[in-house]
Structure 1
Amino acid sequence: MQNIKKLTRIAIYTRVSTDRQAKENQSLENQRYTILKWASENNAEVVKTYEDAGYSGFKGIRPNFEQMLRDVESKTIDIEYIVTYDLSRFSRKEIKRISSELILEQAGVK
């Protein structure tokens, strides 16, 4: 009998705030590629990808980040984890990171 592993359901969040980041190793494409490679090596199914281009982690609202939190909170998306290229892509402001993590925790998402 074949042993079937359960896929871990994830969402990807990528972000660049400057042209310099986009041209360097942190481009949206590079972030997405790195995470997709990791997902294929770790039995993870990508349910949805959220991307914000040109939005700072320090200021303002990041539209797709906020949409991701709304989707998680409303159970519009069924995932276990949100995966980012680097923690700095998730948030640069500690208070925003903590409040976002609380929303995720309450929805059972890591």
Structure 2
Amino acid sequence: MLELGENPDTAYQKIKQLFVHLNLPERLWSLSPTTFSGGEKQRVNIARALSVDYPILLLDEPTSALDETNSKAVIQLLQERQAKGSALIGIFHDEHVKNQLCTRELTFGD
């Protein structure tokens, strides 16, 4: 965000809001992500992707390593991004997630 010219205070507040929404405890915020669990790393990456208002988001199983509570939080953020006009292109094996986010479907395989 800073490289894109965002004010540092604004960037911090935006990331803080995303981390809170994604249930990333404040005790982790100053630690190296190499110490995080798989689900925590996934939520940090989702926060990174959502910190900028990209017109298109490419998703590969965005909730695969997450429990139900954190999956719901991610789905809600992605639905909000869709409502603001962002397109989502993704790979979804979880029918529940796919049904909540997809408006068109292309199926590959037998």
The TM tier, using the shorter chain, reads 0.3 to 0.5
TM-score by length of 2: 0.36
Normalising by structure 1, what TM-score?
0.36
1 or 2, which has the higher helix percentage? Answer: 2
Task: Name whichever structure is richer in strand by fraction.
Answer: 1
Question: Whose relative contact order is higher, 1 or 2, with alpha carbons under 8 Å and at least 6 apart?
Answer: 1
